[in-house]
Protein backbone atom coordinates (compact mmCIF):
# COMPACT_ATOMS: atom_id res chain seq x y z
CA UNK A 1 0.00 0.00 0.00
CA UNK A 2 1.57 3.24 -1.12
CA UNK A 3 0.85 6.89 -1.68
CA UNK A 4 1.06 7.91 -5.33
CA UNK A 5 4.43 9.30 -6.40
CA UNK A 6 4.47 12.89 -7.63
CA UNK A 7 6.11 13.22 -11.05
CA UNK A 8 9.09 15.49 -10.78
CA UNK A 9 10.23 18.12 -13.30
CA UNK A 10 8.63 19.01 -16.61
CA UNK A 11 9.32 17.64 -20.04
CA UNK A 12 12.11 19.42 -21.88
CA UNK A 13 13.34 21.28 -18.80
CA UNK A 14 16.98 21.23 -17.76
CA UNK A 15 18.20 21.14 -14.13
CA UNK A 16 17.47 24.86 -13.69
CA UNK A 17 13.93 24.38 -14.90
CA UNK A 18 14.65 26.28 -18.15
CA UNK A 19 13.81 25.01 -21.60
CA UNK A 20 17.00 23.61 -23.11
CA UNK A 21 18.18 22.65 -26.57
CA UNK A 22 19.28 19.17 -25.56
CA UNK A 23 17.19 16.95 -27.77
CA UNK A 24 20.31 15.27 -29.21
CA UNK A 25 21.49 14.36 -25.69
CA UNK A 26 18.22 12.80 -24.48
CA UNK A 27 18.69 9.11 -23.76
CA UNK A 28 16.00 6.48 -23.34
CA UNK A 29 15.53 5.89 -19.59
CA UNK A 30 16.22 2.30 -18.50
CA UNK A 31 13.12 0.09 -18.10
CA UNK A 32 11.88 0.69 -14.52
CA UNK A 33 12.14 -2.98 -13.55
CA UNK A 34 15.81 -3.10 -14.59
CA UNK A 35 16.53 -0.93 -11.52
CA UNK A 36 15.23 -3.59 -9.09
CA UNK A 37 17.91 -4.92 -6.71
CA UNK A 38 16.99 -7.86 -4.50
CA UNK A 39 19.58 -6.94 -1.83
CA UNK A 40 18.00 -3.47 -1.51
CA UNK A 41 14.51 -4.96 -1.10
CA UNK A 42 15.70 -7.32 1.60
CA UNK A 43 17.52 -4.58 3.44
CA UNK A 44 14.43 -2.32 3.27
CA UNK A 45 12.01 -5.00 4.53
CA UNK A 46 14.44 -6.20 7.25
CA UNK A 47 14.11 -2.74 8.82
CA UNK A 48 10.29 -2.77 8.81
CA UNK A 49 8.32 -3.73 11.92
CA UNK A 50 6.58 -7.09 11.95
CA UNK A 51 3.07 -5.69 12.31
CA UNK A 52 0.13 -4.58 10.16
CA UNK A 53 1.38 -0.99 10.17
CA UNK A 54 4.70 -2.14 8.73
CA UNK A 55 3.03 -4.34 6.11
CA UNK A 56 0.71 -1.57 4.96
CA UNK A 57 3.21 1.28 4.80
CA UNK A 58 1.65 3.25 7.65
CA UNK A 59 -1.99 2.67 6.64
CA UNK A 60 -3.02 -0.14 9.04
CA UNK A 61 -6.68 0.93 9.03
CA UNK A 62 -7.18 -0.18 5.41
CA UNK A 63 -6.62 -3.83 6.33
CA UNK A 64 -10.28 -4.40 7.23
CA UNK A 65 -11.67 -2.95 3.99
CA UNK A 66 -8.97 -4.74 2.00
CA UNK A 67 -9.79 -8.15 3.52
CA UNK A 68 -13.52 -7.55 3.07
CA UNK A 69 -13.00 -6.74 -0.61
CA UNK A 70 -10.83 -9.83 -1.07
CA UNK A 71 -13.36 -12.11 0.60
CA UNK A 72 -16.15 -10.75 -1.63
CA UNK A 73 -13.96 -11.24 -4.72
CA UNK A 74 -13.35 -14.89 -3.77
CA UNK A 75 -17.09 -15.46 -3.30
CA UNK A 76 -17.56 -14.38 -6.94
CA UNK A 77 -15.04 -17.09 -7.87
CA UNK A 78 -17.15 -19.65 -5.95
CA UNK A 79 -14.68 -19.85 -3.02
CA UNK A 80 -15.85 -19.29 0.57
CA UNK A 81 -17.21 -21.09 3.57
CA UNK A 82 -20.89 -20.19 3.46
CA UNK A 83 -23.61 -22.34 1.89
CA UNK A 84 -23.20 -23.08 -1.80
CA UNK A 85 -19.53 -22.10 -1.80
CA UNK A 86 -16.46 -24.31 -1.61
CA UNK A 87 -13.89 -24.35 1.15
CA UNK A 88 -10.76 -25.44 -0.68
CA UNK A 89 -7.95 -27.79 0.35
CA UNK A 90 -4.66 -25.96 -0.16
CA UNK A 91 -3.70 -22.35 -0.82
CA UNK A 92 -0.33 -20.69 -1.34
CA UNK A 93 0.20 -17.09 -0.27
CA UNK A 94 3.23 -15.40 -1.88
CA UNK A 95 4.98 -12.38 -0.32
CA UNK A 96 2.86 -12.99 2.77
CA UNK A 97 4.68 -10.74 5.23
CA UNK A 98 3.34 -11.41 8.74
CA UNK A 99 0.44 -13.39 7.31
CA UNK A 100 -2.11 -10.58 7.53
CA UNK A 101 -4.12 -12.15 4.67
CA UNK A 102 -3.37 -15.76 5.59
CA UNK A 103 -4.68 -15.24 9.14
CA UNK A 104 -7.42 -12.75 8.24
CA UNK A 105 -8.91 -14.61 5.28
CA UNK A 106 -7.12 -17.58 3.73
CA UNK A 107 -7.18 -20.02 6.69
CA UNK A 108 -10.96 -19.43 6.82
CA UNK A 109 -11.57 -20.60 3.27
CA UNK A 110 -8.80 -23.19 2.93
CA UNK A 111 -7.85 -26.24 4.99
CA UNK A 112 -4.12 -25.47 4.70
CA UNK A 113 -2.21 -22.37 3.66
CA UNK A 114 1.47 -22.51 2.66
CA UNK A 115 3.41 -19.28 2.73
CA UNK A 116 6.36 -17.77 0.82
CA UNK A 117 8.05 -14.77 2.46
CA UNK A 118 11.75 -13.84 2.29
CA UNK A 119 11.98 -12.06 5.67
CA UNK A 120 12.09 -14.75 8.36
CA UNK A 121 11.22 -12.40 11.26
CA UNK A 122 7.84 -11.71 9.63
CA UNK A 123 6.82 -15.38 9.69
CA UNK A 124 8.16 -16.33 13.14
CA UNK A 125 4.74 -16.39 14.79
CA UNK A 126 2.90 -17.71 11.74
CA UNK A 127 4.13 -21.25 12.31
CA UNK A 128 1.92 -21.36 15.45
CA UNK A 129 -1.23 -20.46 13.50
CA UNK A 130 -3.67 -23.35 13.00
CA UNK A 131 -4.15 -24.00 9.29
CA UNK A 132 -0.70 -22.74 8.28
CA UNK A 133 1.36 -25.45 6.58
CA UNK A 134 4.77 -24.91 5.01
CA UNK A 135 6.61 -21.63 5.40
CA UNK A 136 9.24 -20.94 2.77
CA UNK A 137 11.57 -18.07 3.68
CA UNK A 138 12.64 -17.09 0.19
CA UNK A 139 11.76 -14.69 -2.62
CA UNK A 140 9.12 -15.66 -5.17
CA UNK A 141 11.85 -15.62 -7.81
CA UNK A 142 13.43 -18.62 -6.05
CA UNK A 143 10.23 -20.56 -5.40
CA UNK A 144 9.63 -23.51 -5.48
CA UNK A 145 12.57 -24.49 -3.30
CA UNK A 146 14.96 -27.20 -4.40
CA UNK A 147 16.01 -27.94 -0.81
CA UNK A 148 14.02 -28.23 2.42
CA UNK A 149 12.21 -25.07 3.50
CA UNK A 150 13.76 -23.20 6.42
CA UNK A 151 10.63 -23.61 8.53
CA UNK A 152 7.78 -26.03 8.31
CA UNK A 153 4.96 -26.92 10.65
CA UNK A 154 3.46 -29.33 8.18
CA UNK A 155 3.65 -32.98 9.13
CA UNK A 156 2.09 -34.16 5.87
CA UNK A 157 4.66 -36.75 4.89
CA UNK A 158 2.76 -37.84 1.78
CA UNK A 159 4.87 -35.47 -0.28
CA UNK A 160 8.34 -34.16 0.34
CA UNK A 161 8.28 -30.80 2.17
CA UNK A 162 10.26 -29.30 -0.65
CA UNK A 163 8.33 -31.04 -3.40
CA UNK A 164 7.75 -28.66 -6.28
CA UNK A 165 4.89 -31.00 -7.27
CA UNK A 166 2.73 -29.90 -4.33
CA UNK A 167 -0.53 -28.63 -5.86
CA UNK A 168 -2.69 -25.65 -4.96
CA UNK A 169 -6.34 -24.76 -5.51
CA UNK A 170 -5.65 -21.06 -4.99
CA UNK A 171 -2.52 -18.89 -5.12
CA UNK A 172 -2.87 -15.42 -3.54
CA UNK A 173 -0.32 -12.74 -4.47
CA UNK A 174 -0.77 -9.27 -2.98
CA UNK A 175 1.43 -6.20 -2.74
CA UNK A 176 4.63 -8.13 -3.45
CA UNK A 177 4.87 -8.65 -7.24
CA UNK A 178 6.46 -5.22 -7.70
CA UNK A 179 9.59 -6.76 -6.21
CA UNK A 180 10.05 -9.00 -9.26
CA UNK A 181 11.31 -7.89 -12.66
CA UNK A 182 8.93 -8.44 -15.58
CA UNK A 183 10.93 -11.50 -16.65
CA UNK A 184 10.97 -12.94 -13.13
CA UNK A 185 7.24 -12.33 -12.77
CA UNK A 186 6.33 -14.13 -16.00
CA UNK A 187 8.58 -17.08 -15.08
CA UNK A 188 7.08 -17.21 -11.57
CA UNK A 189 3.49 -17.11 -12.89
CA UNK A 190 4.33 -19.97 -15.27
CA UNK A 191 5.58 -22.02 -12.30
CA UNK A 192 2.33 -21.15 -10.47
CA UNK A 193 0.32 -22.39 -13.47
CA UNK A 194 2.06 -25.73 -13.21
CA UNK A 195 0.99 -26.32 -9.60
CA UNK A 196 -2.70 -25.40 -9.91
CA UNK A 197 -5.20 -28.20 -9.39
CA UNK A 198 -8.95 -28.43 -8.68
CA UNK A 199 -9.98 -29.27 -5.14
CA UNK A 200 -12.60 -31.77 -6.30
CA UNK A 201 -14.74 -32.46 -9.34
CA UNK A 202 -17.49 -30.10 -8.17
CA UNK A 203 -15.21 -27.27 -7.03
CA UNK A 204 -14.43 -24.18 -9.10
CA UNK A 205 -11.39 -24.22 -11.39
CA UNK A 206 -8.18 -23.37 -9.52
CA UNK A 207 -7.14 -19.74 -9.66
CA UNK A 208 -4.33 -17.30 -9.07
CA UNK A 209 -5.45 -14.00 -7.54
CA UNK A 210 -3.19 -10.99 -7.96
CA UNK A 211 -4.02 -7.86 -5.93
CA UNK A 212 -1.67 -5.00 -6.67
CA UNK A 213 -1.37 -1.22 -6.93
CA UNK A 214 -1.79 0.21 -10.42
CA UNK A 215 0.29 3.11 -11.73
CA UNK A 216 -1.93 5.90 -13.00
CA UNK A 217 0.76 7.21 -15.37
CA UNK A 218 1.20 5.62 -18.79
CA UNK A 219 4.35 3.76 -17.71
CA UNK A 220 5.51 1.66 -14.76
CA UNK A 221 7.17 3.54 -11.89
CA UNK A 222 10.30 2.52 -9.99
CA UNK A 223 10.46 3.23 -6.25
CA UNK A 224 14.02 3.38 -4.95
CA UNK A 225 12.87 3.20 -1.30
CA UNK A 226 11.91 -0.49 -1.39
CA UNK A 227 13.34 -1.28 -4.85
CA UNK A 228 10.02 -2.14 -6.47
CA UNK A 229 7.96 -1.18 -9.49
CA UNK A 230 4.33 -0.09 -9.61
CA UNK A 231 2.92 -1.43 -12.87
CA UNK A 232 0.14 -0.11 -15.06
CA UNK A 233 -3.00 -2.19 -15.55
CA UNK A 234 -2.01 -2.64 -19.22
CA UNK A 235 1.40 -4.03 -18.20
CA UNK A 236 -0.24 -6.60 -15.90
CA UNK A 237 -2.55 -7.70 -18.72
CA UNK A 238 0.44 -8.16 -21.03
CA UNK A 239 2.46 -10.13 -18.45
CA UNK A 240 -0.49 -12.40 -17.62
CA UNK A 241 -0.92 -13.15 -21.33
CA UNK A 242 2.79 -13.86 -21.67
CA UNK A 243 2.55 -16.32 -18.77
CA UNK A 244 -0.28 -18.15 -20.56
CA UNK A 245 -2.95 -17.16 -18.03
CA UNK A 246 -6.53 -16.16 -18.73
CA UNK A 247 -8.00 -13.15 -16.91
CA UNK A 248 -11.48 -14.29 -15.82
CA UNK A 249 -12.43 -11.41 -13.49
CA UNK A 250 -10.98 -8.09 -12.44
CA UNK A 251 -12.20 -5.41 -10.02
CA UNK A 252 -10.93 -2.32 -8.28
CA UNK A 253 -10.82 -2.37 -4.48
CA UNK A 254 -13.35 0.14 -3.17
CA UNK A 255 -13.17 2.28 -0.07
CA UNK A 256 -9.46 3.15 0.04
CA UNK A 257 -8.32 6.63 1.10
CA UNK A 258 -7.66 9.23 -1.61
CA UNK A 259 -4.03 9.73 -2.60
CA UNK A 260 -3.17 6.02 -2.61
CA UNK A 261 -2.61 4.10 -5.82
CA UNK A 262 -5.73 2.37 -7.13
CA UNK A 263 -5.67 -1.29 -6.08
CA UNK A 264 -6.89 -3.92 -8.56
CA UNK A 265 -7.75 -7.58 -8.10
CA UNK A 266 -7.19 -9.98 -11.00
CA UNK A 267 -8.43 -13.60 -11.07
CA UNK A 268 -6.38 -15.75 -13.43
CA UNK A 269 -7.00 -19.26 -14.66
CA UNK A 270 -5.22 -21.63 -17.02
Ligand X SMILES: C[S@@+](CC[C@H](N)C(=O)[O-])C[C@H]1O[C@@H](n2cnc3c(N)ncnc32)[C@H](O)[C@@H]1O
Task: Check binding of 92 to ligand X (CB under 6 A).
Answer: no
Size of the site for ligand X (CB under 6 A): 20
- Beta-carbon contacts of 201 under 8 Å, excluding residues fewer than 6 positions away, are none
Strand ranges of the sheet holding 110-116, from the earlier edge strand across to the other edge: 151-152, 132-136, 110-116, 88-94, 170-174, 207-213, 263-269, 246-252
- What is the smallest separation between the CB atom of 61 and ligand X, expressed in angstroms? 14
- What is the smallest separation between the CB atom of 258 and ligand X, expressed in angstroms? 20
Task: Check binding of 215 to ligand X (CB under 6 A).
Answer: no
Task: Check binding of 123 to ligand X (CB under 6 A).
Answer: no
Return the CA Rg of the chain: 19
Identify the residue among 100, 103, 136, 231 touching ligand X (CB under 6 A). 100
DSSP assignments along 20-89, one per residue: ---GGG--PPPPGGGG--HHHHHHHHHTS-SSHHHHTTT-TTHHHHHHHHHHHHHHHTTBSSSTTSB-EE
Task: Check binding of 230 to ligand X (CB under 6 A).
Answer: no
Task: Check binding of 222 to ligand X (CB under 6 A).
Answer: no
- What is the smallest separation between the CB atom of 83 and ligand X, expressed in angstroms? 29
- What is the smallest separation between the CB atom of 97 and ligand X, expressed in angstroms? 3
Task: Check binding of 206 to ligand X (CB under 6 A).
Answer: no
Spatial separation of the C-alpha atoms in residues 161 and 171, rounded to whole Å? 18
- What is the smallest separation between the CB atom of 174 and ligand X, expressed in angstroms? 4
DSSP E strands, 117-226: 132-136, 151-152, 170-174, 207-213, 221-223
Identify the residue among 32, 97, 133, 149 touching ligand X (CB under 6 A). 97
Task: Check binding of 233 to ligand X (CB under 6 A).
Answer: no
Binding mask 151-190 for ligand X (x = CB under 6 A): -----------------------xxx--x-----------
Task: Check binding of 265 to ligand X (CB under 6 A).
Answer: no
Identify the residue among 77, 109, 122, 192 touching ligand X (CB under 6 A). 122
Identify the helix (H) or strand (E) that includes residue 248: strand 246-252
Identify the helix (H) or strand (E) that includes residue 264: strand 263-269
The helices-and-strands tally (H runs, E runs) of the chain is 8, 10
Residues that bind ligand X in the complex, under the rule CB under 6 A: 41, 45, 55, 94-97, 100-101, 117-119, 122, 139-141, 174-176, 179
Amino acid sequence: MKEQQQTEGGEGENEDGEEGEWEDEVQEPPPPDSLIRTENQLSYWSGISADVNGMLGGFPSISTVDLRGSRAFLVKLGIGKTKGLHKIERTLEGGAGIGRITKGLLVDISQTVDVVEPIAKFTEELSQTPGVGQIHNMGLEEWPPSTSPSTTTDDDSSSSPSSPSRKYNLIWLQWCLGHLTDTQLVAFLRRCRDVLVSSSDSSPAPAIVVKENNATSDADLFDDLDSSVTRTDEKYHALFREAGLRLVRTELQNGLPKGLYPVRMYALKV
